[in-house]
Amino acid sequence: MRLSLALLALAAVLTPATALAHAFLDHAVPAVGSTVPAPAELRVFFTEALEPAFSAVTVATEAGQPVQTGAAKVDPGNPNELVLPLPKLAAGTYKASWHVVSVDTHRTEGHFEFTVQP
């Protein structure tokens, strides 16, 4: 009986109010490693809701030169999605770098490339 009460108390303490986790990349548009016509924006979808103040994505050329873009924002209609407006991109390979903080404060980061076709 005493053990049962102790286990119940432990379960009550440990049960999370909301289960959240590290945000992994789910998919992106343009897709990771894809070759596409020049996109107007980059959309990156994650497995968890993001903390807008600590989440961003940037794009650089294959040589590492940063691309001047609009500001990355979390989509108001989808807290799991980052949107980055892009200028007219020339043909070539681009590297997207993202770092995000999920709403439970776990931080993750990552990179991927996409290629703009001539």
Partner 1 sequence: MGLSHRAVPAAAVFAALPFLSPHQVLAHGFAGDRFFPATILTDDPFVADEMSLPTLTYGPPGSDGSRQLDLDVDIAKRLTPNLGIQLGGTWSRLKSPGLPGVTGLNGMSAELDYQLFTDAPHEATAMIGLAADFGHTGRVQALGASDFTTVSPLVDFGKGFGDLPDSVPYLKPIAVTGNFSLDFPTKDQSAGTPNPHNFNYGFAFEYSLEYLQHHVKDVGLTAPFDRMVPLVEVSFSTALDRGQGGQTVATIQPGVIWSGQYVQVGAEAIIPGTRLAGHGYGGVVQFHMYLDDIFPATLGRPLFGD
The residues of the shown chain that bind partner 1, judged by CB under 8 A, are 13-14, 16, 19-22, 24-28, 31-34, 47-48, 51, 54, 101, 104-113
Q: Which of 93, 83, 111 is nearest to 25 (CA)?
A: 111
CA distance 20 to 116: 35
- Least distance in angstroms from the C-beta of 117 to partner 1: 16
CA distance 112 to 34: 10
- Least distance in angstroms from the C-beta of 68 to partner 1: 24
CA distance 111 to 33: 11
Nearer to partner 1, 5 or 19 (CB): 19
Nearer to partner 1, 87 or 93 (CB): 93
- Least distance in angstroms from the C-beta of 28 to partner 1: 7
Contact (CB, 8 A) for 98 and 56 = yes
Question: CA–CA distance from 67 to each of 3, 27, 31, 51, 118 (Å)?
Answer: 61, 21, 18, 24, 18
Nearer to partner 1, 44 or 84 (CB): 44
- Least distance in angstroms from the C-beta of 25 to partner 1: 4
Nearer to partner 1, 54 or 70 (CB): 54
